[in-house]
Amino acid sequence: MLYGTPTARRRDAQRNRAAIVLAASEVLTEGDPVSLMPEIARRAGVGQATLYRHFPDRHALTAAVIEHQLERLEQAAASLGPHPEHFRQLLRSVLHTQIAMRGLVVLIRRLDPATQNRFRQRALTAFDAPMRQAREHGHVRADLVPDDLALLFTMVQGVAEATADAAAARAAADRSVDLMLDGICRVVPG
C-alpha cells in the first residue's frame, strides 16, 4: 500500500493535528497573529496543505488552540481536588498564560459572540469547584463568584494591551495579577 493502513493514516493525522495545535500555541505566545499560518506549519513540521486540511482558516485553528488551553485548564483545576490552598496558583497560572498569549486573545475577539461566550463559560465552569472549595476553606474571599473571575480576565487583558511595548505590558500585567490576587486570596493560618 502506498499510504499504509487506515489506522496508521489516522494516527499520522492525529499526530499532525496535535503538532499544529502545539505549534500554534507557541506562535501565539510570541504574539504576532498576522503571520500565523505559515509559521505554524513550519514549526509543526507539516506543509501548509496539511495545516489547511486540518484547519481551513484562522478561526478553526483559533478554536482548536482555545480547546487545547481549556483542556489544560480543566485538567489543572481537577487536579486541585483536595488542595484548595492551590487555587491562587491555578488562577495566577491562567492569568499569566492569558498575558503570554496576547495574540490568541486578539484572535478570540474575531470569533462570533456565541462562540466567545461558550469558551468563556467553559473556562468559568472549570474554576467553579476549585473556587467553591477555596472559598469554603477560607483561601479566597467569601463573596468571590465566577463572574468576578471573568472581570479579572478582562482587567488583566486591558492592562496587557495598554501599551504596544510587549515587555512593559507584560510587566504591568504581571503586577496587576499580583495586586488582584492579593485582593481576593487570603492566607489561612496553618
3-class SS of residue 57: coil
Class of domain 63-190: mainly alpha
Residue 7 CA to residue 185 CA, distance in Å, equals 49
Q: What is the pLDDT of residues 137-177, one digit of tens each?
A: 999 999 999 999 999 998 988 888 887 777 888 888 888 89
3-class SS of residue 123: helix
For the question of whether the overall pTM of this predicted structure is more than 0.85, the answer is: no
pLDDT at 136: 94
pLDDT at 34: 58
Work out the number of other CB atoms within 10 angstroms of the CB of residue 34: 9
Mean pLDDT of the 46-55 span: 94
Q: How far is CA 143 from the centre of its chain?
A: 25
Q: Is the pLDDT of residue 61 over 80?
A: yes
Better-predicted residue by pLDDT, 49 or 110: 49
Q: Is the pLDDT of residue 9 over 80?
A: no
Q: What is the pLDDT of residues 23-37, one digit of tens each?
A: 998 888 875 555 678
pLDDT at 45: 95
Please work out, in degrees rounded to the nearest 5, the angle formed at the alpha carbon of residue 108 by the alpha carbons of 57 and 129. Answer: 125
Residue 184 CA to residue 178 CA, distance in Å, equals 10
Burial of 82 (0-12, 13-18, 19+ CB in 10 A): exposed
Give domain 1-56's CATH architecture: Orthogonal Bundle (1.10)
Give residue limits of the domains in the chain: 1-56, 63-190
Strand partners, 140: 185
pLDDT at 162: 81
